[in-house]
Structure formats: C-alpha cells, structure tokens
Structure 1
Amino acid sequence: MPKYPECWQSCGSCASGDVFILEVLVQPGDVLNFDDNILTLETGKVALDIPSPWAGRVVEIHVTAGDNVAEGAPLITLECD
C-alpha cells in the first residue's frame, strides 16, 4: 500500500472515517502497465484509485474488497519482465 497523499496529513478531511478497499480492479493473469489502476480505496469523503508502481503480470492478489489495509502492506504480486 503506498503512502497516503501528503494532503491527508495537513488537512485530514478526506481521510476522516474508515479507509478501506472499495474494489479490486485486477485479477491473476492480468498484464499491467506502469500506472494502471489496481484498486480503489474508499475514505470518509473520496474514492481514490491506486496505480501500479511497476509493469508486469499479476500473479497473486493479497487483498479483497472491504479490507482495511495499512500503509506498506502488500496489495498484489507482480511478475516483471
């Protein structure tokens, strides 16, 4: 899980309430490019798409919709070329 946007520390408004995974947008076998969205987070005020920091094939998914995920937790496993 990437670091939440810096504005959450200064304002905090978007992050009020529970932060959880609304939807997982990939499945094993999918091929991702850098910056393709892998999931959507729901916060107290907004939904945020989380992009992939790498390109590769999705081997495993470590989260499901409804999960609360801490910063730094693994989301997916990619096989990179």
Structure 2
Amino acid sequence: MSVEDVKAAIVEANTLLARAREAFLGATEVAADGKSIAGSSCYDSAKSEVAAAESTFKSAVDEIDRAVRRFDSAIQLASEYRGKI
C-alpha cells in the first residue's frame, strides 16, 4: 500500500467516523426529547421509577456525549497523522 493509498484510506475512515458522529448526535436529540416527554408526563411524581428513568436518560446522554468526543478525537488524530506522512 502506497502512502497515497494510506492517506485515501484515512480520509475514507474519517468520513465514516463523521457519519457515525452525526448519528450519535441525532441519538442525543432523541434521548433529550424522550427525557422531556417523560419529564412532563411524570411531573411532580415521587415514584422511584420516575427518578430512575430520569437518571437513565441523563446517563444515556452522557455516554453518547463521550462517544462523540471519542469520534472527534479519532478524526483529529487521524488527520494529524495523515498530514505527517
């Protein structure tokens, strides 16, 4: 594999990573919408299941945010490597 082939493969991988990143961002929006709907439906509820669901939504969004940061990091590092070869 030539250097140009490696560079092209990195560009392709970064394109796929960017698509995955966008999908995860979409999932963040869906989770936030779900949390909002659940929150308004269960307003002022003292049930433990409601608190657990709110916590679970928050955890899901936090995990998605972490994944997006990892995608960003991978794209950046691959781009830096591509620039050095």
TM-score with structure 1 setting the length = 0.22
Q: Compare the two structures and name the one with the higher helix fraction.
A: 2
Greater radius of gyration (CA): 2
Higher normalized strand content (fraction of residues): 1
Question: Could you say which structure has the greater relative contact order, defined with CA pairs below 8 angstroms and 6 or more residues apart?
Answer: 2
